[in-house]
Copies of this chain bind each other. A is one copy, B any other.
Amino acid sequence: MSRCLIKQVEVQSFIERCMTAVGTKPHHAHSLALVLVEGDLRGHYSHGLNRMDMYVKDIQTGICETSGEPVVEKESAATALVDGKNLLGPVVGNFCMNLAIKKAKEVGTGWVVAHGSNHFGIAGYYAMQALKENMIGISLTNSSPLVVPTRGKDCTLGTNPLSVAAPAQDGDSFVLDMATSAVALGKVELSERRGDPIPEGWGCDAQGQLTTDPKRVLSGGGLMPIGGGEATGGYKGYGLGMLVEVLSGILAGAQYSKHIRMWKLTDRVANLGQCFVAVNPENFAPGFSERMSDLLSIQRGLDPADPDAPVMAAGDPESMNIKKCEELGGIPYHISVVNYMNECAKTIGVSPLLPCDKLISN
């Protein structure tokens, strides 16, 4: 399974080239590319270059807007309601998170929600913007229905991700970035392609029964919330998925729950709801980052149950992936992804990713 190593700047430039070729404003394309590249650097390939064709299609079909900028509809010292104007998710996300940070500088916290938004890539990207200002960042979004509520058999909630980032000392941080479903849909799809069973608790069949057969999950079934079935506490994950929906779609007046268009269907605008919060530790007890570092050290320093699997903190696997990319001098992609993206570029008349002459075996 050989991979192809591509420099970060080239991936950034490639995405910008493709997006502008279909009519995206350069600075919007730049925003999107930054989020997707960060997704890949962090090892979340399902939210990186791999998904660029979806965004290209969103612009090509006109289902996302290319003109205008997000607009503040209602505002107070600490809050804002934003109309995303159906622009690309990262354009809306950056606008809102910057506004939340600005408010947090002034009054200690900023709480900004947007309707009229679209897929914004990894939620962690926005939460992490707050780290640059030594603040806590929170971001969350609703999404197309893929998750079955506890005791139900129909999908009425998205994987509704939630991210919280908090700064520690010397550039260290805590970055929680997780879907409120037990797993991402992509993991179930991968198991199906490989012919592997899935662990109990990941998904259910069309009758709402837990199943280890990925085919059943993908044909009329759905993902389970964090915790799996009711006996193992899945109602908590279901509650968390609802929490995200309440603070995003419901608070923002966007689409929500089963009213959101089906996953991968772009028959109508997404009108997603998103929530961005910044909290300034300066407004609370002194020494925040020192305590954060201690908290992280406590966990990382634990004697592990398995000597080969050290205890980590949220964000550590991603930091390790970034370090790996730095050491390699680029981001490793499957050849098939690179080829697919180059085909995609060809059809819109864009120069391909740099010739893939660096094959690596891991």
The interface of chain A, by Cβ under 8 A from chain B, is 74, 76-79, 81, 107-109, 111, 113, 115, 136, 149-154, 156, 164, 166, 174, 176, 178, 182-183, 199-201, 204, 207-209, 226-228, 231-233, 235-240, 242-243, 245-247, 249-253, 256-258, 279-281, 283-288, 291-292, 295, 298-299, 302-306, 309-314
The reply to whether B166 and A246 contact each other, CB–CB distance below 8 Å, is yes
Tell me whether B79 and A174 are in contact (CB under 8 A): no
A246 touches B292 (CB 8 A): yes
CA distance A237 to B156 in the complex (A): 22
> Of B74, B109, B136, B209, which contacts A284 at CB under 8 A?
B74
Residues on the B chain within 8 Å of A250, using CB: 166, 288, 291-292, 295
Query: Is there contact, CB below 8 Å, between B242 and A298?
Result: no
Query: Given A108-B76, A246-B164, A292-B246 in contact, is the A252-B284 Cβ separation under 8 Å?
Result: yes
* CA of A287 to CA of B306, assembled, Å: 52
The answer to whether A174 touches B251, judged by C-beta atoms less than 8 angstroms apart, is no
Cβ distance A148 to chain B, nearest Cβ, rounded Å = 9
Q: Among B108, B226, B242, which residue has its beta carbon within 8 angstroms of that of A236? A: B226
The answer to whether A233 and B295 touch across the interface, beta carbons within 8 angstroms, is: no
Q: Are A109 and B79 in contact (CB under 8 A)?
A: yes
Verify B156–A245 contact, CB threshold 8 A.
no
Q: Inside 8 A of A233's CB, which chain B residues have their CB? A: 182-183, 201, 226-227
Contacts of A279 in B (CB 8 A): 79, 111, 247, 251
Contact A242 B151 (CB under 8 A): no
| 21 intermolecular pairs with C-beta atoms under 8 Å apart | A77-B108, A79-B107, A79-B283, A108-B111, A109-B109, A151-B302, A151-B305, A156-B302, A164-B246, A164-B247, A166-B246, A176-B243, A199-B232, A201-B233, A209-B305, A226-B236, A227-B227, A228-B232, A235-B314, A249-B291, A252-B284
Nearest Cβ in chain B — how far from A260, in angstroms?
11
CA distance A78 to B226 in the complex (A): 32
Q: Are the C-beta atoms of B209 and A313 separated by less than 8 Å?
A: no
